[in-house]
Amino acid sequence: MQDHEPLFEAARSGGRVLLIYCFEPMQLTDEHYRLRHWRFVLQSLQDMAVRLPNKSILCSQASALETFTQLHRLTPLTAIFSHQEVGLENTFRRDQAMAAWFKRNNISWHETPYAAVMRGLNHRSDWQNNWHKVMRAEQKNCDLAKVDWHILSDQQLTQLGLMPPSSMHITQLDEKVSQVTPYQHRYDDLQGHFQQGGESFAQQTLSSFFTERGKPYYYSLSSPNTSQAHCSRLSAYLAWGNLSLRQVYQMTLAHWQQPGWRKSLIAFSARLHWHCHFIQKFESQHEIEFMPMNSGYQAMPSTTGELAIKRLKAWQQGQTGIPMVDACMRCLLATGYINFRMRAMLVSFLCHHLDLDWRLGVKHLASVFLDFEPGIHYRQFQMQAGITGINTIRIYNPVKQGIEQDPEGEFVRRWCPELAQLPNEVVHSPWQMAPMEQLFYQVELGMDYPFPLVDIKQSYQFAQAKLWHWRDRPQVKRQVAHILARHVQPKANKTKPKPRN
C-alpha cells in the first residue's frame, strides 16, 4: 500500500474509495499458475486488511467484467484506478473488454505505468533516461487515515458475492484450481514451504537484505546453496506488488556507501535495471508468449511423439537421472524458488540436452516459480533456449554446474535423498558407478534413482551443431536488425547509471 500510485490518485480524487481484487476463474484455471500463487495473493490481501478499516478491501471470485457490472448496478462507479498490467494474452483481452465496458458506462479508467515500462513503445531511444527519472522520483505514498473509504453493508456484500480477505480460505480457491491441476502438483502446493505473501513480510525481507544478508550477494549469486540466504529474495514481492521497484532501488542508493558492499550493490542494481528491461521487451512484443522472438526459429525441429512426452514428464518431476537438474526441479516444486543460474540450466537442459520445443516447458516453469512475472519469464526462457538470434548461445553442462556450484554435494543430497550416501566424486554423475559401487552405497540405478535420459556429451554436441546451424540461416539473420532496433537502446543515447542520490 506504499508507493502505490493508483491508490494515491484514488485517495486524492475526492471520491470514496473501495479496493477490489478479483480471483478470476480464467486465471485460477490458467496453466501458468498454481495454488501457491493464489495463496500468496490471499496472504497479501489479508496482510493489507489488517491495516485498513473493515470491509474497505474486498475479494471477488467472478470475472472482472461480472464483478464491476454487478457493483456498478448497486453503487454507481465514477472512476477506476489501476496499474497497467504487462500480462498474458488472456489478461490483455480482458483489459480490452473492460476498457470498452468502462467507456460504455461513462466510467473513467486511470491506468498508471508499471515501474518504468512504457506502453506502446517500439524503440528504446530515451528508455534509459526514463528509467532513471521514474526510479528517482518521489514515492507515491498515501495517508491511509485520510482516505474516505466506501464501506458496503453485509447485505450488499452478500448480494454482490464479495467478501473481505479475512473471510476467505485457500480451500475456496483450491476448488477451482484443482479442476486443471494434477493431484501431484496440488500436493506440492499444499505441502511445500513457500515465502509468505504480504507487504509486512516484504519489508522484513528488504530490511534484512540491506542490514545483513546482502553483503556477500555478489559472491553468492550462482550457488543454489548460498543464493537461498544471500540473494535478495524480493522477486516474489515485486512480481505480486508487495513492493515497488522504486522502493527497492531507492533503498539500494541509500546504502550505496556501505563499506564492503560495493560489488554486491553494483551487481544488484544492474539486476533492478534488467527487471524493467525484460518486461519492456514483452510489452513491446507480446506475441513471444506463443512464438519465438526471432521468427526465423519458428520451424526449428525438435524431438516429438512419445519420446518427447517421456522426457518432458521426467524433467517436470525431477526424474531425469541428472542429479543437479533433478535437485533444482524438486527444490522448485517444494519452495517455488531457485537462483537464476540454475533456472537457466533447467531451460538449457530441456531445450538443448533433451531437444524439446521451448513451448513444452515454459508454462510448467512459470507454474512452479512463485515469482512468475510474464515479461521476465518469456523473454528469459527464449534467451536461454537460444532462439533469439541476438544473445550468446549457452549450453549448460549440468554435471559441470554441479561440481562448480555444489562441490560438496550438499544441495543434491538435500533434494535427491536417494543419493545421500554417494561420495562427492560421483554424486553429480552416479551413472559412473560400477554395480559393486552401487551395492556398496545402496543405490541401484534404474530402481532407486533413474538412469540419465541422455548422454550429456552427445546431447551437447548435437545441440551445439543444431543451434549454430540455425543461427547462420538467412531467415534468422534477417530478423536480427529489427529485433535490435526495437529492444536495444542506441549506443549514442546510452547513459551510465548514476548510483548516488
The whole-model pTM stands at 0.94
User: C-alpha cell of 312?
Assistant: 518432458
Position 224 in a domain: yes
User: C-alpha cell of 177?
Assistant: 484450481
Task: Taking residues 256-271, report their average pLDDT.
Answer: 96
**Residue 36 φ/ψ region, left for φ over 0, alpha for ψ in the -120 to 50 degree band, beta for the rest:** alpha
Residue showing cell 511423439: 305
What's the confidence (pLDDT) of residue 185?
65
Instruction: Tell me the pLDDT tens digit for each residue of 322-334.
Output: 999 999 999 999 9
Asked if 307 and 267 sit in the same domain, the reply is no
Mean pLDDT across the chain: 94
Task: Taking residues 109-116, report their average pLDDT.
Answer: 96
Which residues fall within 8 angstroms of residue 173, CB to CB, at 6 or more apart? Answer: 23, 28, 35, 38, 39, 42, 61
Asked if 356 and 215 sit in the same domain, the reply is no
What's the confidence (pLDDT) of residue 309?
97
Residue 492 scores a pLDDT above 60: no
Asked if 356 and 459 sit in the same domain, the reply is yes
Task: Taking residues 187-195, report their average pLDDT.
Answer: 84
DSSP class of residue 88? Answer: -
What's the confidence (pLDDT) of residue 184?
62
Instruction: Tell me the pLDDT tens digit for each residue of 268-304.
Output: 999 999 999 999 999 999 999 999 999 999 999 999 9
At residue 442 the predicted structure's pLDDT band, cuts being 50, 70 and 90, is very high
Asked if 259 and 314 sit in the same domain, the reply is no
What's the confidence (pLDDT) of residue 175?
76
Residue 497 scores a pLDDT above 90: no
Position 501 in a domain: no
Domain membership of residue 436 as a residue range: 295-486
CA neighbor of 139 nearest in space, from 11, 12, 251, 3: 3
Q: Is 351 exposed, middle or buried (0-12, 13-18, 19+ CB in 10 A)?
A: buried
Q: What angle do CA 376, 405, 323 make, to 5 degrees?
A: 90
Asked if 400 and 317 sit in the same domain, the reply is yes
- Name the residue type at position 213: R
Which residues fall within 8 angstroms of residue 459, CB to CB, at 6 or more apart? Answer: 352, 353, 354, 355
Residue 499 scores a pLDDT above 50: no
Residue 34 scores a pLDDT above 90: yes
Asked if 392 and 310 sit in the same domain, the reply is yes
**Residue 129 φ/ψ region, left for φ over 0, alpha for ψ in the -120 to 50 degree band, beta for the rest:** alpha
Residue 501 scores a pLDDT above 50: no
Percent of the chain scoring above 90 in pLDDT: 90
Position 499 in a domain: no
What does the radius of gyration of the chain's CA atoms come to, in whole angstroms? 24
Percent of the chain scoring above 70 in pLDDT: 96
Using the 3D structure, point to which of 259, 283, 307 is the last residue of a domain: 283
Asked if 330 and 214 sit in the same domain, the reply is no
CATH of the domain at 164: 3.40.50.620
- Name the residue type at position 17: V
Using the 3D structure, point to which of 249, 283, 317 is the last residue of a domain: 283
Position 264 in a domain: yes
Task: Name 59's bridge partners.
Answer: 21, 163
Cα distance between residue 435 and residue 414, in whole Å: 24
| Length of the chain (residues) | 501
Residue 483 scores a pLDDT above 80: yes
Asked if 258 and 303 sit in the same domain, the reply is no
Asked if 275 and 299 sit in the same domain, the reply is no
Position 238 in a domain: yes
Position 77 in a domain: yes
User: C-alpha cell of 274?
Assistant: 534488467
Position 85 in a domain: yes
Asked if 215 and 149 sit in the same domain, the reply is no
Asked if 447 and 390 sit in the same domain, the reply is yes
User: C-alpha cell of 340?
Assistant: 537464476
What's the confidence (pLDDT) of residue 161?
94
Count up the domains in the chain and report the number.
3
Task: Taking residues 127-136, report their average pLDDT.
Answer: 96
Task: Taking residues 165-194, report their average pLDDT.
Answer: 79
CATH of the domain at 359: 1.10.579.10
What's the confidence (pLDDT) of residue 162?
96
Position 133 in a domain: no
Asked if 315 and 457 sit in the same domain, the reply is yes
Using the 3D structure, point to which of 283, 305, 329 is the last residue of a domain: 283
What's the confidence (pLDDT) of residue 495?
47
